[in-house]
A and B are shown apart, each in its own frame.
Chain A
Amino acid sequence: MSAPGIAIETKPLVPSGLLAVAIFVASEAIFFAALISAFVVLRAQALDWPPFDQPRLPVLVTGINTAILLLSGCTIHGALRSVRASGARLTGWLAATAVLGALFLAIQGYEWVRLVGFGLTTSSSLYGATFYALVGAHGVHVLAALVVVLVVAVRGYRGRYGAAEHTGVAMCHLYWLFVVAVWPVLYALVYLR
């Protein structure tokens, strides 16, 4: 029992910011589960999927793009490991993550432009609407995560993070890993089945 008037410094079990991101990621998981559910039910009700007059999705290119995003999951993990150790190569790992994320978005964007050109739009069919809703929602998340990575990279470059304090990197790491983990599920569901 402590004596009255003596303040005891207590450290939180988990940094508040990290806990907030974890709760946010949990809610995002439910959001994607709802989108996936809508997609699965609508596809099951369709007579032909994809409709015969709609273009087929680029399975191979998106497969390569999936590998790129999975690789970015490794680089963000490298960033967290490096900041835990000393923080010497943090900016390099984060820059690599940002480049891979940007490459993923660029390839997705290029494929979408081609698909729109072939006639697959949000209003062309239920197939197009669900495709852009599901894959588009993920793309927006990757874009948001990319902005976060860039902000953390700049802060890391300025020496804000070290082995003792790196909550920002841990938050960024958790969110990026979620975005990476969701994509293979969407790829298998939308492109492969």
Chain B
Amino acid sequence: MTRRAARPRWPQRLVGCAVLAAALLPARVGRACSSCLSGADGTREAYYGTTLLLIVVPFAALGVLVFWLRRAAQRAERARRASTDPGVPRARPGHDPAFHAG
């Protein structure tokens, strides 16, 4: 079995680059979005803004929940310390830290 001599590839690459340049250089900026019916500024801003809102709200909700639980844990810890350490002021009667977490 004989191997064919390797040909230089640069002419093919040059043609490829030329075709790519011919396709890209005359192109204008295109805006395509399945949700936007127009390319108006107001629509784009609304679309971007609501996308941001839908990203932020779940994280914010989760963050508030975590913050709330953490605060409840801190209050419970303070109440536990107050019940064991006589130097720490005790909680009011009927004051349950869990209900004051929110």
Contacts and interface: CB of A to CB of B under 8 A. Distances in A.
Contacts, number: 85
B99 A84 contact: yes
Contact of A34 (B49, B54, B60): B54
Interface in B28-64: 35-38, 40, 42-43, 45-47, 49-51, 53-54, 57-58, 60-62, 64
Given A44-B43, A44-B45, A163-B93, A30 B57 contact: yes
Interface of chain A: mostly helix, strand, loop or mixed: helix
Given A33-B54, A36-B50, A174-B102, A41 B65 contact: no
A27 B90 CA distance: 37
B98 interface: yes
Interface stretch (A7-15, A61-69, A97-105, A138-146): A7-15
* Interface residue range, chain A: 20 to 34
25 contacts: A11-B98, A13-B69, A13-B76, A14-B72, A14-B98, A15-B99, A22-B68, A22-B102, A26-B58, A26-B61, A30-B61, A33-B54, A36-B50, A37-B54, A38-B50, A40-B46, A40-B49, A44-B42, A44-B43, A44-B47, A45-B38, A84-B94, A86-B94, A162-B94, A163-B94
Interface of B: 35-38, 40, 42-43, 45-47, 49-51, 53-54, 57-58, 60-62, 64-65, 68-69, 72-73, 76, 93-96, 98-102
